[in-house]
A and B are shown apart, each in its own frame.
Chain A
Amino acid sequence: EDKVVQSPLSLVVHEGDTVTLNCSYEVTNFRSLLWYKQEKKAPTFLFMLTSSGIEKKSGRLSSILDKKELFSILNITATQTGDSAIYLCAVNSGNTPLVFGKGTRLSVIA
């Protein structure tokens, strides 16, 4: 059975801290790994990763995939209160639905 596990499940940090969110997976026929940010409403797309070792970056957020060890990390540097959200990791294995992890709830306090 395909599985995606995120850790930690929740995290509280102060503004300016750097955080690392983890996502490990076990799926057959891996195609890509996706990160989403969910604030009060629907998840919004952050990154899609398909190749090991290539960092995707957007502002203070970055992510990297390790296909050998079957995990990805999402880094957020210099966190702000606006980064408070649930971060979801999902894995695409082709024509089957995305498999989502339970998410990491990040709270950034001033």
Chain B
Amino acid sequence: NAGVTQTPKFRVLKTGQSMTLLCAQDMNHEYMYWYRQDPGMGLRLIHYSVGEGTTAKGEVPDGYNVSRLKKQNFLLGLESAAPSQTSVYFCASRPLSGPSYEQYFGPGTRLTVT
């Protein structure tokens, strides 16, 4: 099991450019999440998905879009990057039910927007 993987690991964008971050999990988890982490702010939820074909907004969704066309993949898109989107992005997944509600995190993507 690879667990949760994220692509790419690092990226530098210019203001106004677009990009897509890919999250993949091989644990057959229903729930998937995208967070951003900034110094002193903890983890802030951007968007999440409770199943294939469904998405919902989190705490800080503006400037981002997501899609969950396949259960194992959750894509995060930035249509027009801004310096305020410089951050570390984490994807996570967890199962719908079971003895543990443990949430598994990907390794993160460090994005810099200049």
Chain A contacts to B: CB under 8 angstroms: 9, 31-32, 34, 41-45, 48, 88, 90, 92, 95, 97-98, 100-103
Contact = CB atoms under 8 A, between A and B. Distances in A.
Given A42-B106, A42-B107, A45-B102, A97 B42 contact: no
B40 A102 contact: yes
Contacts of A34: 101-103
Nearest to A47: B102
Interface stretch (B11-19, B43-51, B79-87): B43-51
Contacts of B50: 95
Contacts of A103: 42-43
Interface in B72-105: 90, 100-105
A32 B101 contact: yes
How many chain B residues sit at the interface, stated as a range, is 20 to 34
A87 B104 CA distance: 15
Nearest to A98: B103
Given A41-B107, A41-B108, A97-B48, A88 B43 contact: yes
14 contacts: A32-B101, A42-B107, A45-B102, A45-B103, A45-B104, A48-B100, A88-B43, A90-B103, A97-B31, A97-B33, A98-B103, A100-B42, A101-B42, A102-B40
Contacts of B61: none
B42 A88 contact: yes
Contacts of A9: 40
Interface string B22-44: 00000000010100000011110
Given A41-B108, A42-B107, A92 B101 contact: yes
B48 A31 contact: no
A32 B107 CA distance: 24
